[in-house]
Amino acid sequence: MTATDRGHRDEWVGRSVPRKEDLPLVTGHGRYVADIQLPGTAEVAFLRSPMAHARITGIDVSAALAGEGVVTVVTGADIRATVLPFTRFVDQEFTPPGLERAAHPVILPCPMPVLASERVRYVGEPVVAVVAADRALAEDAVALVDVTYEALPVVVDPVLAVQSGSPLVHDDITDNVQATFEVRAGDVDAAFAAAPHVERFNYETQRQAASPMETRGVLAVHTDVTDETTVWTSSQTPYMVRTRISEQLGIAEESIRVVVPDMGGGFGPKVQVYPEEVLLAHLARTLGRPVRWIEDRSEHMIATAHSRDQRHTVEVAFDDSGLITAIRDDFLMDAGAYNPFSITCAYNSAVHFRSVYQVPHFQVRGRCVLTNKTPNGPYRGCGRPEATFAMDRAVYQIARLLGLDPVEVMARNLIPADAMPYPRGMPYRDGQEVVYDCGDFPAALAQLRALSGYDEHARARQAQPTSTAVTRRGIGFASYIEGTGIGPYEGAVVMLDSLGRVVVRSGSAPHGQSHDTTMSQVAADVFGLNPDQIIFSAGDTSLVPNGIGTFASRSAVVAGSAVLLAGRRLEQRVRAIASELLEISAEDLVVDAGYVHVRGDATSRVSLADVYRAALPGPQARIPGGTEPGTRELQYFVPPTVTFGAGFLAATVSVDLETGGVVVERIDIIHDCGRMINPVVVEGQLQGGILQGIGGALYESVVYDENGQPLTTTFMDYLLPTSAEVPEIRQIHLATTSDRNPLGVKGVGEAGAIAPPAAIANAVADALRPLEVELNRLPLSPPTVIEAITRAQR
Amino acid sequence: MRISMEVNGRGVEVDVEDRTSLADCLRDRLGLTGVHLGCEHGVCGACTVLLDGSSVRSCLLFAVQAAGHRVTTVEGLADGAGQGGLHPVQTAFMACHGLQCGFCTPGLVLTTCELLAEDPAPTAEEVRARLSGNLCRCTGYVKIFEAVDRAAELMRARSGTAAAPAGAAEDTR
Ligand code: FES
Ligand code: FES
């Protein structure tokens, strides 16, 4: 079926239609997990380790058990026989052969208990769960639990952790390196030997907390009648929660239903399956009443995964023109006390390191290092902001050494448009060779350069190379590339309900991304309906048999494509059934506005409700020969591999030389996310990502002291960007259609967050010229900037 | 302890413990779950409600402190007078994509109501400063600023006509 004979194809996709999700949310009728009230619910509070590393020598719960309103108190010993520890984590199901061959990952077992019973390895690790009539009483009883600890030596710094003699976080991982890989493309050694210049740089991206405004929360209930356990959880991956509960409690996935209600943001840390989710399912089953746990913010800051936290040592080989011939990168990721994501984030750093640049020879080793901190997981960008910070700072630094304009050096190293599709000589995380599918990077950079006013700025700087002003302005550029829409698959059900309405169910659940609106736009085009007429739901494992989740800029690509495929199948089926009813060839029928009518004759028609009834099983069924009854199509979209979004970002900043304060005045971004389903939603994703990137560049940092005590457990200490920090943001959308999915889209969820730290650091370096400042450590807080200035002045 | 207060235009009596926060009272006792808890230490603004028309952080107040006062939550804003029965600020947030996950939205909507009741035509700088006590992690605030401008327009247009002021305007006049 072509676009023209459909007539209404593309009517909704591509338009900024208003969101379907908003009405309940603006009126206070959203249903986040903390808002769901089930009668008889008991509340859970956790006693968490106050020690970074210690042996548990005793737990006395007797006083807590006698506490007012206490239902039960559970320790690790109590559940040893019934609740298994975490031995596999998200995305660790298997290493694809292509990745195995190229990167030889070594991933050591690192089981994580649901409740620690012998040893605690980070402040915040759950030790005892108290169940009581309400949360306040549960917290009162937590204070009555008496745990005795014997302190163990603590390791906080990942650089020290890999040195011999360091305390071990897990005794059988003898160098604290839980996972490692090494991958190369081209002939790095020869390129280094032949290079006119070789430089070495160190880059460090701090530990961050993604900080969704809603913390985590779980509500679990078991129904004897159906022998089903239902778990509502604020999670990006309901199916993985179901799998872990099934494996760790030893019950079939078929008797577990995981539902994600409205969700107040995710951004990565809610991809992980956590001890609380498994434990609450167990408690609901054993206590026979609903149980609920709502994380508080201070708990969140130590109990929910942190992110970033990488240290790169980068060697760059380049010629006099600034053309980079080879890079060697050796980096550590501070994984914290367990490493739930194995090499996911680290390998992302490796695979995206070279960004939009040619760099024909490349070698990278990544090591995930255990320390006594909260485990590290993905956060918007997932390894890419870290790599981009290193790569684009390096471009600026070599330009500086050669006395060249950094943006010229960027341009010189870009992959030319006529080289697309461009293979990178190494596999993606899915094991498939990385091949950038499309895009014109040089043209995009030139466009952004013009938009940002860089040339005028550079000319003015040339005219007046030194300045005595206290506040200086700088413009810095950075790039990004992003494999989006990773598999292995996503599922969708598209069906008619008994009223003849089109119902869409997605395996990927939203937490702010506007799935209802955008997927309804996709389905509306298939059926000639208005998006408001599509009944959409997601985030419920009972609706689509299998699914993956919402992360890695994948939903529009894989879930959207699944909706399109299932929708097209249903549309065909609907016409085939109507063809039986109208006794005319399906080819001559059009589905539109709730009816199937004869092409060119809108009065010869049947309604979708008629079609629904005609497809019910039984002797009266009017279904096409050889097919099953019903009007429900389930499709899984399996992408061949990721599709690459890309872009450039320019930051204009002013720097106060006396205070070290940096103000981001403007962000200009040019980005390619393929075809846009809803441009305003895309803009919103970019703007949100950019502000998070600014937070990472300037403000946010999770800090531990040398004893492994976290110092940033409130929003007074962990600084998020507010409305007062918002720069002017200008965007140029490019839309190079991807041929790796039927919608032609590329993901955009993470795009805005990747380049800001590198661009802002480059802008600060630019502002401080002719001083040669090293700005290789984030965040660029006022003391860091002052220190860099002072060092440069020496 | 038994307290009485006016919540969204209705008198209520409720038993609370001394230590119960206003937020917990509104959420757990009165079912007003549009009051969101993002930090419970007074920084994020998700729990913002209007107390006698002024914005307060309901996580930092005890319920007993609200005794005898007028409380407006986001549930009390839609008064049926505006488009689709919504308050203009709600309409504007929807129209401008001023929300993504929506968790911060009740607080931001109420803060905006307070601001526009005081100053029907705030400058961009005033808006930025005034909203800086309400964190939003999703939107990057840009479209929230647009929503505030749009809301100001809608409210000016409304007060220019004979239409009666909306619930929040009543609370904050
Ligand atoms: S919950 Fe009250 S300010 Fe954050
Ligand atoms: S819309 Fe998600 S926090 Fe503001």
**Residue B45 near ligand 1, beta carbon < 6 Å:** yes
pLDDT confidence band for A55 (50 / 70 / 90): very high
Between CA A295 and CA A301 the distance in angstroms is: 10
Enumerate the residues of chain B whose CB falls inside 8 A of the CB of residue A137. Answer: none
**Surface of A (194-233) touching B: CB under 8 A:** 211-215
Are A688 and B41 within 8 A, CB to CB?
no
- What is the residue range of A132's domain? 39-80+117-152+216-294
Min Cα–Cα distance to chain B from A724, Å:
5
* Domain harbouring A622, CATH code: 3.30.365.10
Count how many domains chain A has: 3
Q: Which residues have C-beta within 8 Å of that of residue A143, sequence separation ≥ 6?
A: none
Enumerate the residues of chain B whose CB falls inside 8 A of the CB of residue A297. Answer: 38-41, 44
Substitution target in A723, A725, A728, A748 with the highest count of B β-carbons within 10 Å is A723
Do the domain assignments include residue A183?
no
Q: Say if residue B80's pLDDT is above 70.
A: no
**Residue A213 near ligand 2, beta carbon < 6 Å:** yes
Are B128 and A724 within 8 A, CB to CB?
yes
User: How buried is A601 (Cβ within 10 angstroms: 0-12 exposed, 13-18 middle, 19+ buried)?
Assistant: exposed
- The first and second tokens of residue A142, run together, are 């937590």
Q: Say if residue A3's pLDDT is above 60.
A: no
Question: How long is chain A?
Answer: 794
Indicate the top mutation candidate among B21, B24, B57 to test ligand 1's pocket, ranked by most ligand atoms within 8 A of CB. Answer: B57
Enumerate the residues of chain B whose CB falls inside 8 A of the CB of residue A663. Answer: none
User: What's the pLDDT score for residue A96?
Assistant: 87
User: What's the pLDDT score for residue A7?
Assistant: 44
Boundary of a domain, candidates A294, A327, A354: A294
Ligand nearest to the CA of A512: 2
Boundary of a domain, candidates A637, A660, A684: A637
Cβ pair A538, A509 in contact under 8 A = yes
Q: What is the mean pLDDT of chain A?
A: 94
Bridge partners (DSSP) of residue A500 are none
* Domain harbouring A273, CATH code: 3.90.1170.50
Cβ pair B14, B29 in contact under 8 A = yes
What CATH number matches the domain at B2-76, 3.10.20.740, 3.10.20.30, 3.40.30.10, 2.40.10.10? 3.10.20.30
Element (H or E) spanning A136, and its range? helix A135-142
Q: Angle at which helices B88-95 and B105-118 pack, to 10 degrees?
A: 120
Q: State which ligand 2 atom lies nearest to the alpha carbon of B144.
A: 4
Q: Say if residue A653's pLDDT is above 60.
A: yes
Q: State which ligand 2 atom lies nearest to the alpha carbon of A214.
A: 3
What CATH number matches the domain at B83-159, 3.40.50.300, 3.30.360.10, 3.40.190.10, 1.10.150.120? 1.10.150.120
Min Cα–Cα distance to chain A from B155, Å:
17
Q: Which residues have C-beta within 8 Å of that of residue A309, sequence separation ≥ 6?
A: A158, A205, A206, A207, A208, A333, A334, A376
Residue B103 alpha carbon to ligand 1 centre in Å: 11
Question: How long is chain B?
Answer: 173
Q: Say if residue A45's pLDDT is above 90.
A: yes
Between CA A404 and CA A438 the distance in angstroms is: 29
Ligand nearest to the CA of A264: 2
Enumerate the residues of chain B whose CB falls inside 8 A of the CB of residue A689. Answer: 140
CA atoms within 13 A on the CB side of A12: 21
Query: For A387-426, how does the pLDDT look when each residue is reduced to its tens digit (9 = 90+)?
Result: 999 999 999 999 999 999 999 999 999 999 999 999 999 9
Enumerate the residues of chain B whose CB falls inside 8 A of the CB of residue A25. Answer: 99, 102, 105
Cβ pair A606, A617 in contact under 8 A = no
Claim to verify: residue A138 and residue A278 sit in the same structural domain: yes
Are B93 and A26 within 8 A, CB to CB?
yes
Q: State which ligand 2 atom lies nearest to the alpha carbon of A264.
A: 2
- Other CB atoms within 10 A of residue B31 CB: 11
Are A18 and B95 within 8 A, CB to CB?
yes
Q: Which residues have C-beta within 8 Å of that of residue A764, sequence separation ≥ 6?
A: A474, A476, A653, A655, A662, A773, A775, A780, A785
User: What's the pLDDT score for residue A552?
Assistant: 75
Q: State which ligand 2 atom lies nearest to the alpha carbon of B38.
A: 3
Considering only the beta carbons, identify the residue of B34, B38, B97 that sits closest to A213. Answer: B38
Between CA A90 and CA A98 the distance in angstroms is: 19
Q: Say if residue B161's pLDDT is above 70.
A: no
pLDDT confidence band for B164 (50 / 70 / 90): very low
Nearest CA-CA partner of A632 in A526, A522, A504: A504
User: What's the pLDDT score for residue A38?
Assistant: 96
Claim to verify: residue A284 and residue A377 sit in the same structural domain: no
Are A27 and B34 within 8 A, CB to CB?
yes
Query: For A189-203, how does the pLDDT look when each residue is reduced to its tens digit (9 = 90+)?
Result: 999 999 999 999 999
- The first and second tokens of residue B111, run together, are 């803060």
**A668 touches B: beta carbon within 8 Å:** no
Are B39 and A724 within 8 A, CB to CB?
no
**What is the residue with the minimal CA distance to atom 3 of ligand 1?**
B42
**Residue B133 near ligand 2, beta carbon < 6 Å:** no
Query: How would you list the strands of the sheet with A502-506, edge to edge?
Result: A535-538, A502-506, A490-496, A632-637
Considering only the beta carbons, identify the residue of A19, A34, A513 that sits closest to B97. Answer: A19
Claim to verify: residue A136 and residue A272 sit in the same structural domain: yes
| ipTM score assigned to the predicted complex | 0.95
Considering only the beta carbons, identify the residue of B35, B44, B100 that sits closest to A688. Answer: B100
Q: In terms of C-beta distances under 8 Å and separation of at least 24 residues, what long-range contacts does A585-590 make, across chains too?
A: A590/A6, A590/A7, A590/A528
Claim to verify: residue A650 and residue A781 sit in the same structural domain: yes
- Which residue is closest to B125 within chain A, CA to CA? A724
Claim to verify: residue A666 and residue A787 sit in the same structural domain: yes
Do the domain assignments include residue A96?
no
Q: Angle at which helices B105-118 and B124-131 pack, to 10 degrees?
A: 130
User: What's the pLDDT score for residue A194?
Assistant: 98
**Residue A469 near ligand 2, beta carbon < 6 Å:** no
Between CA A625 and CA A311 the distance in angstroms is: 63
Claim to verify: residue A575 and residue A442 sit in the same structural domain: no
CA atoms within 13 A on the CB side of A509: 31
Element (H or E) spanning A481, and its range? strand A471-484
pLDDT > 90: percent of chain B = 86
Nearest CA-CA partner of B36 in B167, B159, B147, B135: B135
pLDDT confidence band for A91 (50 / 70 / 90): low
Are B44 and A680 within 8 A, CB to CB?
no
Ligand nearest to the CA of A692: 2
pLDDT confidence band for A6 (50 / 70 / 90): very low
Q: Which amino acid is at A505?
A: R
**Surface of A (239-268) touching B: CB under 8 A:** 262-265, 267
Report the C-alpha dihedral over residues A32, A34, A38, A41, rounded to 10 degrees: 160
Do the domain assignments include residue A372?
yes
Do the domain assignments include residue A191?
no
Mean predicted confidence (pLDDT) in A427-439: 92
**A39 touches B: beta carbon within 8 Å:** no
Claim to verify: residue A358 and residue A254 sit in the same structural domain: no
Nearest CA-CA partner of A64 in A80, A47, A88: A47
Residue A207 alpha carbon to ligand 1 centre in Å: 24
Min Cα–Cα distance to chain B from A694, Å:
10
Claim to verify: residue A686 and residue A754 sit in the same structural domain: yes
Q: State which ligand 1 atom lies nearest to the alpha carbon of B39.
A: 4
Between CA A121 and CA A324 the distance in angstroms is: 42
Report the C-alpha dihedral over residues A465, A466, A468, A471, rounded to 10 degrees: 50
- Other CB atoms within 10 A of residue A150 CB: 11
Claim to verify: residue A507 and residue A534 sit in the same structural domain: yes
Enumerate the residues of chain B whose CB falls inside 8 A of the CB of residue A715. Answer: 39, 41, 43-44, 135
Between CA A563 and CA A515 the distance in angstroms is: 11
User: What's the pLDDT score for residue A609?
Assistant: 97
pLDDT confidence band for A762 (50 / 70 / 90): very high
More confident residue, A324 or A7: A324
**Residue B102 near ligand 2, beta carbon < 6 Å:** yes
Cβ pair A756, A697 in contact under 8 A = yes
**Surface of A (454-513) touching B: CB under 8 A:** 511-513
Enumerate the residues of chain B whose CB falls inside 8 A of the CB of residue A692. Answer: 137, 140
Q: Count Cβ neighbours within 10 Å for each residue of A41-63 and write b for 16 or more, e otherwise.
A: bbbbbbbbbebbbbebeebebee
Q: Where are the beta strands (DSSP E) in A137-261?
A: 146-151, 177-185, 197-208, 217-223, 228-233, 256-259
Q: Which residues have C-beta within 8 Å of that of residue A766, sequence separation ≥ 6?
A: A406, A474, A475, A476
Nearest CA-CA partner of A312 in A327, A294, A290, A295: A327
- Give the distance from CA A297 to its chain's centroid: 20
Residue A684 alpha carbon to ligand 2 centre in Å: 11
Claim to verify: residue A578 and residue A650 sit in the same structural domain: no
Query: For B23-58, how does the pLDDT look when each residue is reduced to its tens digit (9 = 90+)?
Result: 999 999 999 999 999 999 999 999 999 999 999 999
User: What's the pLDDT score for residue B81?
Assistant: 58
Q: Say if residue B171's pLDDT is above 90.
A: no
Boundary of a domain, candidates A243, A272, A294: A294
Enumerate the residues of chain B whose CB falls inside 8 A of the CB of residue A265. Answer: 100-101, 103, 137-138
Query: How would you list the strands of the sheet with A601-607, edge to edge?
Result: A589-592, A595-598, A601-607
Distances (CA, A) of B168 to A38, A314, B26, B65, B95: 32, 57, 18, 21, 19
Do the domain assignments include residue A463?
yes
Indicate the top mutation candidate among B37, B74, B97, B100 to test ligand 2's pocket, ranked by most ligand atoms within 8 A of CB. Answer: B100
First to last CA, chain A: 71
Claim to verify: residue A682 and residue A553 sit in the same structural domain: no
DSSP state, residue A749: T
Q: Say if residue A59's pLDDT is above 70.
A: yes
Query: For A330-351, how does the pLDDT look when each residue is reduced to its tens digit (9 = 90+)?
Result: 999 999 999 999 999 999 999 9
Q: State which ligand 1 atom lies nearest to the alpha carbon of B23.
A: 2
- Other CB atoms within 10 A of residue A586 CB: 17
Segments making up each domain of chain B, as ranges: 2-76, 83-159
Are A681 and B97 within 8 A, CB to CB?
yes
Distances (CA, A) of A564 to A13, A16, A93, A501: 11, 19, 28, 17
Between CA B93 and CA B116 the distance in angstroms is: 14
Claim to verify: residue A284 and residue A145 sit in the same structural domain: yes
User: What's the pLDDT score for residue A10?
Assistant: 59
